[in-house]
Structure 1
């Protein structure tokens, strides 16, 4: 979110706005702003009288606006936080009432809407009014290829020194769940000694991600058709299925080979253009290029079929008491021997 630093700076300096309507697909930034306001608008003593926290499913806009028009008791502000505001019902009549309040808000009320997981309809009048008054804040999701840089920046803010490629390791394992990543980094901030560099061993010890034996190393081995290393990693993963659920492994392997297949269709374009079309970090294009030389299209369609078959078996369809560890070995054997394996498509 481009305006995040300014918003948080103003909140810290007690320069509040009467309305904060925070919306978007990424819940992390919505929580950051909401929590900052909850911590800074009122003192602990004032919260007993002037703080109201409600949930969208338990209220409606008319009740919220009625509360917002009240004045604080023994203080300068009242603070109203509407969590899960995406559950509020908004009809045309209420939209007009909300519009009137946006155009003339009560200065002593700090009204916050935490509208998660989806954007507001920018065509609606009240949304245009929020935007014009600078009361609207969009929490934009972080794309896959942006996560390593986000981790790098966040680590820098927290004063955590990262070893090379650790940001990529965390991004690959934790995905785009920014809230989870932020929590893990906060935990590491408390654990790490001053000037200690976060490397693969520390990540494995404190987060549980092995720098040598994880699903991404498995994908790397499969991408290079290194059957021996892939089997070693599979053995490690199979020993701890709770930490390495089969559904996650199959999903990640499927995504990789699906991207290799897509890479075949994009060959000839620049690495940057291919990465943008695929929605991946340009850093990984070399891996898809290498895998495309090992796995031609005819093999990739078979691999996709294998992965679908393994996925169904892992969910109990056509699986007669075969463990996930055994299914993992079967999957790796079939992929690394794809040129010798016949698959029903």
Structure 2
């Protein structure tokens, strides 16, 4: 796991080359920041830290920089962003790279330089020679979405790094309110840490008082109100979102996405899938799958099929201007409420 790399860096144990790939770009960013903090002081950063976008700069330029002796320090940190040549994506018309230059470097890396290859892609092309060489000679870690338990551990560790503690109930509430986006969670943890002060504790009340709900969380609560026959509360959430200048078409898209996930989870559950298998198959965060599994129990398969078609029709109406956009979602909420009353 990428957190194991963090532990090594914090002990000032560095590899010569890191290949970090995956769609959780926050984890890649954090690794680079951690290396920067532990490798270079403020004066050295101006001279010995370089970052290159390989969609704009030839690879060999970055490699030559890594081969250059550090100035006013002992180490250099070279970050190579967007190495699309490690994927199966066609690179026609983009920058030409001398891949051999990197292969040669891997055989004889500069002892004073640390290279981070940041690849924000879900998969790498393991058939390519350079990918195989990196897997053999670099520290390779996947920056993937954290599972439910890993996410809670990460939140606790983040709070501790800020000099505060956080209760388990506060963590549960925080994830349910703010979601699983690490950039969002970081901002919320940092905000609460400043509020409670060093050495103090973030409790459930602090989260309820300070953490902002995401649009996605408001949509989840809206769905929860409807399926539990609380249409007035659902409408209140909807009107609050409109007051916050949220577009009806965006709200509809999130509602559609939630019910599509509920339907997919119900189908996979019927086939015997576990929640972790569902998350992998649907490419959804385990926490979202867990919530959808609970909601799926409130609907039959036929009801969910009808709802998916209902949302598709609403999307068509909204995009063709057949009805008032605000009214379309109101009608959907009343139809969902009517459906829940038949249960």
Tell me which interval the TM-score lies in, with the shorter structure as reference length: 0.7 to 0.9
| Alignment TM-score, normalising by the size of structure 2 | 0.77
1:4 is matched with: 3
Equivalent of residue 261 in structure 1, options 260, 263, 268? 263
In 2, Cα distance between the equivalents of 1:149 and 1:303? Answer: 36
Q: CA RMSD in A?
A: 3.6
> What are the Cα deviations for residues 104-134 of structure 1, in whole angstroms up to 9, with x where unaligned?
1111122222222343322222222222224
1:101 is the counterpart of 2:105: yes
Range moving further from structure 2, 55-64 or 166-175: 166-175
1:114 is matched with: 118
2:278 is matched with: 278
Tell me, yes or no, if the aligned pair for 1:263 and 1:274 is still in contact at 8 Å. no
Deviation at 1:34, TM superposition (A): 0.7
Deviation at 1:137, TM superposition (A): 2.5
Unmatched runs of 5 consecutive residues or more in structure 2? 280-285
Q: How many residues align?
A: 325
1:329 is matched with: 330
Equivalent of residue 219 in structure 1, options 215, 220, 223? 223
2:38 is matched with: 40
1:251 is the counterpart of 2:253: yes
In 2, Cα distance between the equivalents of 1:51 and 1:277? Answer: 41
In 2, Cα distance between the equivalents of 1:276 and 1:260? Answer: 15
Tell me, yes or no, if the aligned pair for 1:223 and 1:290 is still in contact at 8 Å. no
Classify the secondary structure of the residue corresponding to 1:17: coil
Classify the secondary structure of the residue corresponding to 2:117: strand
> What are the Cα deviations for residues 219-278 of structure 1, in whole angstroms up to 9, with x where unaligned?
112223433433343343343334xx43453334323433443455456666xx342443
In 2, Cα distance between the equivalents of 1:146 and 1:334? Answer: 38
Deviation at 1:289, TM superposition (A): 4.8
Tell me, yes or no, if the aligned pair for 1:26 and 1:116 is still in contact at 8 Å. yes
> What are the Cα deviations for residues 122-181 of structure 1, in whole angstroms up to 9, with x where unaligned?
2222222222224323212335796556546655665442463x5455445544422222
In 1, Cα distance between the equivalents of 2:228 and 2:340? Answer: 14
Classify the secondary structure of the residue corresponding to 1:335: helix
2:283 is matched with: none
Tell me, yes or no, if the aligned pair for 1:8 and 1:33 is still in contact at 8 Å. yes
Equivalent of residue 230 in structure 1, options 234, 238, 244? 234
Classify the secondary structure of the residue corresponding to 1:131: helix
In 2, Cα distance between the equivalents of 1:267 and 1:67? Answer: 53
1:302 is matched with: 306
Counterparts in 2 of 1:98 and 1:134: CA distance versus 1, 3 Å? closer
1:65 is the counterpart of 2:69: no
| Alignment TM-score, normalising by the size of structure 1 | 0.77
Tell me, yes or no, if the aligned pair for 1:259 and 1:278 is still in contact at 8 Å. no
Unmatched runs of 5 consecutive residues or more in structure 1? none
Classify the secondary structure of the residue corresponding to 1:20: strand
> What are the Cα deviations for residues 58-79 of structure 1, in whole angstroms up to 9, with x where unaligned?
3111111222222223432233
